[in-house]
Amino acid sequence: MRWLAVLLLALAAPAFANDSLPPAPYAYRQLDDPKLEAKAEALMETLRCLTCQSQSIADSDASMAGDMRDEIRRRIAAGEQPEHIRQWLIARYGDYISYEPRVTSATWPLFVIPLALIALGVVVVLRRLARRV
């Protein structure tokens, strides 16, 4: 029986050590004002969790994501605008923290290529139509 307990304990060991402090006050608690909470929620869904990098901080249970939610809810409750908070975070972590696409010197082809392809398609179709007439 004992070996089984040891085995189960070994299996239960978490891949990442985590802290034992309770989550920050507003990590899992919504703001009382539903309008402000909606604002905070919309922002949190577009910010990357730094611990689990494919998740948003709204989706992640990492303690750092909880702390970031706490920070954001407090600031929104204090009247700060979501875009201002996003810029504040981008100033610290770079564009990577935000899921909201921005046109920059590195990302402009993503916006230009689809337009160029549509234009090319239109040209091809027009030329074919013209030939048919």
Q: Residue numbers of the site for other proteins (CB under 8 A)?
A: 17-21, 24, 50-51, 53, 63-64, 67-68, 70-71, 89-94, 96-97
Structure tokens at 22: 């309770």
- The answer to whether 52 touches 16, Cβ cutoff 8 Å, is no
- Given the complex with other proteins, which of 23 and 37 has the nearer CB atom? 23
Nearer to other proteins, 28 or 96 (CB): 96
Q: Closest approach of Cβ 4 to other proteins, in Å? A: 26
Q: How far is the CB of 5 from other proteins (least distance, A)?
A: 23
Q: Which is nearer to other proteins, 7 or 117 (CB)?
A: 117
Q: How far is the CB of 1 from other proteins (least distance, A)?
A: 30
CA neighbours closer than 13 Å in the CB half-sphere of residue 26: 18
At 6, the amino acid letter reads V
Q: How far is the CB of 88 from other proteins (least distance, A)?
A: 9
Task: Please spell the DSSP secondary structure of 64-80, one letter per residue.
Answer: HHHHHHHHHHHHHHTT-
Whole-angstrom CA distances from 16 to 12, 52, 62, 63 are 11, 11, 10, 12
**Is the CB of 1 or the CB of 130 nearer to other proteins?**
130
